[in-house]
């Protein structure tokens, strides 16, 4: 394969792109060590040496660093590594390592996410956010069933905090509160059901 470009990423690293659509980042010393130059041929053997000798280890270390601050899903890890100019093989290697030692567990991540935010976010909003983090439809449904999110209880707490009273709140304010709840992803039926309850009926 031929190297078609070597461009600086920062003061220490450069991005290397080949004519086979491979992209990876190396430090300046590594660029010199492996004779990386625009227009020069890069043999399969040399690329394998870079991949296994440098990029696999670096990708693994990068993922462990990312997980120090907070848990992440597999998709989030893959996106971060791709943004860091790691080739697909290095990304796969690092993710498999994380999964092998259960450093990444999407199901457990989803369960914790719902338990953390389920008290103030609608089911629809949680589903949307988890889908964006890479969880599948069936997986999300199972987790929602397991964690038992009560939208009506969330709506009730929101209305109580806002001072809503069925027989005293003005129609204009009532409509404003309903619209706010709808923007949060709560269903119209659930909003109306709670709004029609007697004051302080609770749950």
- CA–CA dist 76, 82 (Å, integer): 10
Domain extents in the chain: 3-100, 106-147, 151-195
Q: Tell me how crowded residue 120 is: count the other CB atoms within 10 A of its CB.
A: 11
70: its two tokens: 């907070």
- CA–CA dist 32, 58 (Å, integer): 18
Residue 55 DSSP label:
I
Is residue 22's pLDDT more than 70? yes
Is the CB of residue 160 less than 8 Å from the CB of residue 128? no
Average pLDDT for the chain: 92
Q: Is 20 exposed, middle or buried (0-12, 13-18, 19+ CB in 10 A)?
A: exposed
Fold entry, domain 3-100: Arc Repressor Mutant, subunit A (1.10.10)
Q: Which of 110, 121, 108, 113 is nearest to 153 (CA)?
A: 121
**Taking the C-alpha atoms of 147, 152, 158 and 159 in order, what is their torsion angle to the nearest 10 degrees?**
-170
Is the CB of residue 122 less than 8 Å from the CB of residue 154? yes
CA-atom Rg of the chain in angstroms: 25
**Span 26-78, pLDDT tens digits:** 999 999 999 999 999 999 999 999 999 999 999 999 999 999 999 999 999 99
From residue 18, alpha-carbon distances to 27, 40, 43, 123, 193 in Å are: 17, 10, 11, 45, 60
Is residue 103's pLDDT more than 50? yes
Is the CB of residue 155 less than 8 Å from the CB of residue 186? yes
Question: What is the predicted pLDDT for the residue at 168?
Answer: 87
Is residue 10's pLDDT more than 70? yes
Residue 54 contacts by C-beta under 8 Å, 6 or more apart in sequence? Answer: 26, 30
* Listed range (9-23, 37-51, 81-95, 162-176) with the worst mean pLDDT: 162-176
Is residue 154's pLDDT more than 80? yes
- CA–CA dist 106, 174 (Å, integer): 39
Q: Tell me how crowded residue 187 is: count the other CB atoms within 10 A of its CB.
A: 16
157: its two tokens: 């707490």
Question: What is the predicted pLDDT for the residue at 203?
Answer: 46
pTM (two decimals) = 0.80
């Amino acid at each position: 394969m031929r190297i078609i470009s070597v461009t600086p990423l920062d003061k220490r690293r450069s991005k290397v792109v080949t004519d086979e659509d491979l992209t990876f980042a190396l430090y300046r010393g590594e660029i010199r060590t492996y004779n990386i130059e625009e227009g020069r041929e890069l043999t399969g053997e040399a690329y394998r040496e870079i991949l296994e000798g440098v990029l696999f280890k670096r990708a693994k270390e990068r993922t462990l660093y990312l997980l120090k601050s907070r848990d992440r899903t597999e998709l989030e890890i893959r996106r971060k590594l791709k943004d860091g100019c790691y080739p697909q093989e290095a990304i796969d290697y690092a993710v498999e390592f994380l999964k092998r030692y259960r450093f990444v567990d999407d199901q457990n991540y989803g369960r914790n996410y719902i338990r953390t935010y389920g008290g103030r976010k609608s089911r629809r909003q949680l589903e949307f956010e988890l889908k964006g983090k890479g969880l599948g439809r069936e997986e999300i449904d199972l987790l929602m069933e397991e964690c038992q999110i009560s939208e009506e209880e969330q709506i009730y707490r929101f209305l109580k905090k806002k001072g809503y009273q069925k027989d005293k709140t003005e129609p204009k304010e009532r409509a404003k509160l309903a619209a706010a709840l709808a923007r949060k992803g709560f269903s119209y039926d659930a909003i109306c059901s709670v709004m029609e309850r007697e004051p302080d009926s609770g749950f």
